Amino acid sequence: CSHSSIKHRHSSMLVLSSSLAAVKVSPLIEKVSDHKDFKKLLRTRTNVLVLYTKTATSGDSYLKLLSDVAQTVKGQGTIAWVNCGDSEGRKLCKKVKVDPSSRREGAELLHYKDGTFHTQYNRPATFKSMVAFLKDPSGPPLWEENPEAKDVVHVETEKDFRKLLKKEERPVLIMFYAPWCGVCKRMQPVFQQAATETKGKYVLAGMNVHPAEFDALKQEYNVKGYPTFCYFEKGKFMHHYENYGATPKDIADWLKNPQPPQPKTPEVPWSETDSPVFHLTDESFDSFLEEHPAALVMFYAPWCGHCKKMKPEYDEAAEVLNKSPGVLAAVDATVHKAAGDRFKISGFPTVKYFEKGEEKYTLPHLRSKDKIIEFMHNPQAPPPPEQSWEDRPSSVSHLGSEDFREALKKKKHALVMFYAPWCPHCKNAVPHFTTAAELFKEDRKVNCLGLFPNLPNSVTHQLSLPHTHTHTHAEETKGTCLAILFATIYHLKLRGMDEKKESNVFWL
């Protein structure tokens, strides 16, 4: 063999070796080159992130990262790789009109949702961002991805948190938050602006402590709601930042002279305000109804958000009506419990119409000033209540606490939806779930589609269902944003709930 031939052969071996090294990626990353296989992948998977590369090696940095991501999102998302540099891959890339060679790194990431193209992945190429994206492709970016939050120190682990407190000489104000919390989202721009304005003198940090792994940390610093702000000097906890305002200037001014939380100004009871509504007590209730033959009574709780929203509407309606053709009254059912118990008040607000001292109608649809005035001028029975899901004919089996476990023991496969009748997301899911039950009615592989509205604590604990609050009562704590998470659907692959190791849980 000539020297040039040996050189050429050696060169070819290097290319081949390099190519083989490039494709040694996690088995969880699906290598696709055929167009039919690609279409099948999109048809059978609902959440797919595809890496298109110019050559076998141009995506190496991505593939190493995506291998770790694929392991974490296993069962929730799929990662695929198309090498547009080989002959088959080139045809596929041409058909889907993707050209990674036009990209600076020779690689492009595209996301497909429910079988069709969804979006180009243009968030940071980091493990945390990619995992967050695949777990919620339509969700908001992480806080640290916002360029305007560059002056906020983003803390990921408890170890990082302890390290920050130990090493940082400057005072530290940390915001403990949850990603879903609306108040936190509104505070983030304020906090990051304060971080920029106080940069160099103070450290403003943010930490998502919603995951259960941070429960001990939350207990340590009395984090009862989100966001909670904790102030430290030389690693020592000093104060909570609370009730001192919610602007960047408020935070900056407080940092110059940190003080313990300011007591919250107590809310003036509705009955003590200049309200045109008659406020009743247990003692005055019956005599008031005797004196007023047409009365609308609102049973409320001071902490109830829906009640707070309705109060101004109710006040305005009372002012317009001015006792004619009837009067508007209210009862704080948390104080005057006898009245609430007597009329079986289980949720707030509850509005009832009384005629000549007798209860005539319960009116859940009356919430606005105009509707209240319209009703009082022409009192009519409310529309009939919506038929409950259990009472509607369908192929869905409805389970209760008494037969939940026994029913599952008899079924090899069961798709169970845990719901609350008042929950809007559940109501939206009902027709789709019912249609699915019809489709699987004759399918022996899916023997049971069961639903269960009121779970005992033992079941919620065993299935690790998220804690929920009912619509009738929710403890209001400082800066708390309560997430109501219902319409949780589980696939229970088991003959009995006790065989926990055989159960697969899917969040849909």
Host H or E run for residue 490 = strand 488-492
Task: Say whether both 278 and 211 belong to one domain.
Answer: no
Task: Say whether both 352 and 413 belong to one domain.
Answer: no
Host H or E run for residue 489 = strand 488-492
User: Given pLDDT bands bounded at 50, 70 and 90, which one contains residue 322?
Assistant: confident
Task: Say whether both 364 and 401 belong to one domain.
Answer: no
The answer to whether position 5 is within a domain reads no
Give me the pLDDT at residue 323, please: 82
The answer to whether position 18 is within a domain reads no
Which of 372 and 104 is assigned the larger pLDDT? Answer: 372
pLDDT at position 477 over 70 = no
Which of 40 and 394 is assigned the larger pLDDT? Answer: 40
The answer to whether position 382 is within a domain reads no
Host H or E run for residue 327 = strand 327-332
Measured CA to CA in angstroms, residue 415 lies from 83, 294, 455 at distances of 38, 50, 16
Q: Name, in order, each residue with C-beta under 8 angstroms of 364's C-beta and a sequence gap of 6 or more.
A: 350, 351, 382
Task: Say whether both 115 and 163 belong to one domain.
Answer: no
Nearest to 249 by CA among 176, 322, 193, 202: 193
Mean pLDDT check: name the lowest of 150-154, 332-336, 503-507.
Answer: 503-507
Task: Say whether both 393 and 369 belong to one domain.
Answer: no
Q: What is the pLDDT of residues 428-439, one digit of tens each?
A: 888 888 888 888
Strands (E) across 41-115 are located at: 47-53, 78-83, 107-113
User: Given pLDDT bands bounded at 50, 70 and 90, which one contains residue 167?
Assistant: very high
Q: What is the pLDDT of residues 381-409, one digit of tens each?
A: 988 877 888 888 888 888 877 777 787 77
Q: What CATH code is carried by the domain that includes residue 122?
A: 3.40.30.10
Which of 176 and 420 is assigned the larger pLDDT? Answer: 176
Cβ atoms 70, 26 nearer than 8 A: yes
Measured CA to CA in angstroms, residue 307 lies from 99, 166, 311, 376, 378 at distances of 57, 46, 6, 20, 24
Nearest to 109 by CA among 77, 136, 79, 76: 79
What one-letter code names the amino acid at 165?
L
pTM given for the model = 0.53
Task: Say whether both 294 and 222 belong to one domain.
Answer: no
User: Given pLDDT bands bounded at 50, 70 and 90, which one contains residue 458?
Assistant: low
Which of 483 and 165 is assigned the larger pLDDT? Answer: 165
pLDDT at position 447 over 80 = no
Give me the pLDDT at residue 151, please: 96
Direct distance between the N- and C-terminal alpha carbons of the chain, in angstroms, rounded to an integer: 63
Q: What is the pLDDT of residues 341-356, one digit of tens each?
A: 999 998 899 999 999 9
The answer to whether position 210 is within a domain reads yes
Task: Say whether both 238 and 275 belong to one domain.
Answer: no
What's the structural domain count of the chain?
A: 4
User: Given pLDDT bands bounded at 50, 70 and 90, which one contains residue 10?
Assistant: very low
- Give 179: exposed, middle or buried? Use CB within 10 Å, 0-12, 13-18, 19+: middle
Nearest to 329 by CA among 344, 342, 337, 339: 339
Rounded to an integer, the average pLDDT of 193-212 is 95
Cβ atoms 328, 296 nearer than 8 A: yes
pLDDT at position 312 over 50 = yes
Chain mean pLDDT for the chain: 83
Task: Say whether both 159 and 129 belong to one domain.
Answer: no
> Which residues carry out catalysis?
181, 184, 304, 307
Task: Say whether both 237 and 338 belong to one domain.
Answer: no
Task: Say whether both 395 and 502 belong to one domain.
Answer: yes
Task: Say whether both 153 and 131 belong to one domain.
Answer: no
Rounded to an integer, the average pLDDT of 14-30 is 58
Instruction: Quote the domain boundaries for residue 130.
Output: 30-139
Task: Say whether both 95 and 151 belong to one domain.
Answer: no
Beta strands 78-83 and 47-53, pairing class: parallel
pLDDT at position 51 over 60 = yes
**Phi first, then psi: what are they for 172, rounded to 5°?**
-120, 130
